[in-house]
């Protein structure tokens, strides 16, 4: 595929998940990082009828197809380490949160840049 071998970390919510999805469609390896118990995007309308569940959002199902998913609880050492380990090997990082969203992981943009040896995030 066109982007085979490209590694992407997806830190987006419902406002930004389409960009990484396009890259997954084109062959990139995309890993979506979600806080436990899952991204708020899993509950965005429109939803399938029935009792609430993690895959009821039609938008989430459509724009996360082809992505891997990792749970990284914010404000925990394991969550922070998971994000940093993924970013260290990434070619691209997508983040769509409001200013300060990375602060939930006790991370800054500079922290992400410092672990990416290629400087691809700067």
Residue-range domain boundaries for the chain: 7-115
Contact status, residue 63 vs residue 15, Cβ threshold 8 Å: no
pLDDT digit string (tens) for 84-101?
Answer: 999 999 999 998 877 777
Instruction: Give the pLDDT confidence score for residue 99 in this predicted structure.
Output: 79
Q: In what helix (H) or strand (E) does residue 79 lie, and over which residues does it extend?
A: helix 77-88
Extract the tokens encoding 120.
């691809």
Average pLDDT over residues 49-74: 88
CATH class belonging to 7-115: alpha beta
Which residue matches tokens 């609430």?
Answer: 52
| Nearest of 23, 36, 31, 13 to residue 67 by alpha carbon | 31
pLDDT digit string (tens) for 6-47?
Answer: 999 999 888 899 999 999 999 999 999 998 778 888 888 999
């Amino acid at each position: 595929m066109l982007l085979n071998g490209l590694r992407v970390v997806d830190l987006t919510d419902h406002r930004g998940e389409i960009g990484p999805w396009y890259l997954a469609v084109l062959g990139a390896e995309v890993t979506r990082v979600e806080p436990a118990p899952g991204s708020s995007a899993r509950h965005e309308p429109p939803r399938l009828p029935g009792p609430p569940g993690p895959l009821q959002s039609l938008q989430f199902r459509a724009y996360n197809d082809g992505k891997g998913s990792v749970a990284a609880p914010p404000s925990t050492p394991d969550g922070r380490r998971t994000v940093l380990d993924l970013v260290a090997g990434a070619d691209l990082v997508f983040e769509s949160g409001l200013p300060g969203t990375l602060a939930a992981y006790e991370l800054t943009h500079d922290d992400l840049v410092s672990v990416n040896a290629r400087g691809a995030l700067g």
